[in-house]
Amino acid sequence: MKILARRSPEPSSTFEYRLAQEALNLRQQAKGMPAGIRRTELLRKAGQIDAAGEVNKWLTSPGLLAPR
């Protein structure tokens, strides 16, 4: 029986970096779309991901300083 090791993310691929990349990807997708519900959903999701990144930064900061 062969056990597969779970691949860990690359060192440069932090959670914050992956969030930023996903938001950028969603904005790129929305850029090529006509105005409409799907485009709005993509941009809203990108904004939510940006907010998640800010919350993560705040939660992982030393001393839990309030976000600016």
> How many domains are there within the chain?
1
| 44 in any annotated domain | yes
Sorted by sequence, the CB contacts under 8 Å of residue 20 that are 6+ apart come out as: 53
Give the range of the structural domain holding residue 54, as residue numbers without chain letter.
Answer: 15-59
> In angstroms, rounded to a whole number, what is the distance separating the alpha carbons of residues 6 and 64?
32
| 27 in any annotated domain | yes
> In angstroms, rounded to a whole number, what is the distance separating the alpha carbons of residues 3 and 31?
43
Contact yes or no for 30/46 (Cβ under 8 A): yes
pTM exceeds 0.75: no
| 41 in any annotated domain | yes
5-63 pLDDT, tens per residue? 555 555 568 999 999 999 999 999 999 899 999 999 999 999 999 999 999 988 888 87
